[in-house]
A = this chain, B = another copy of it.
Amino acid sequence: MDRTLDEADASEYDALVLSGGVINPDQLRTNEKAISFVRDFFKQHKPVAAICHGPQILISAGAVNGRKMTSVKSVSIDLKNAGAIWEDSEVVTDNGLVTSRKPKDLHAFNAKIVEEIKEGRHEDQYI
């Protein structure tokens, strides 16, 4: 870890990657500073990527309604209930929003993140 949430500002970064696990996203999704930090990337039209349980944070950030996404299977129903268009693919990209299901998808996930960062500003990345 290089910085705490108090020190970090979305304007200093090109993109955000939310990792998975059953503990980290579960804790971050109720942390107001973390949610605000995540929302800033959408407001600044920057790429946001999430894998495994990471998309739980995006539900709490109010960022998934109408977006094409994937996730670990257990979270799929929560994403659908939040308005996401969920599909079972190794990586799903929707205008700067990149999601994958599990560690096995990392190669495709990373490649898409690089692609989205190279594209730069995503006008359709919104919240």
Q: Which residues of A contact B (CB under 8 A)?
A: 22-23, 26-27, 29-30, 53, 56, 59-60, 73-74, 77-78, 81-82
Q: Is there contact, CB below 8 Å, between B22 and A74?
A: no
18 A-B pairs (CB sep. < 8 Å)? A22-B22, A22-B23, A22-B26, A26-B53, A26-B74, A27-B74, A29-B74, A29-B77, A30-B73, A30-B74, A56-B74, A59-B78, A59-B81, A78-B78, A78-B81, A78-B82, A81-B81, A81-B82
Interface of A is mostly: helix
Q: A22 to B29, alpha carbons, bound, how many Å?
A: 14
Min distance, Cβ A86 to any Cβ of chain B, angstroms = 13
| Complex-state Cα separation, A6 to B4, whole angstroms | 47
Shortest CB distance A127–B (Å)? 15
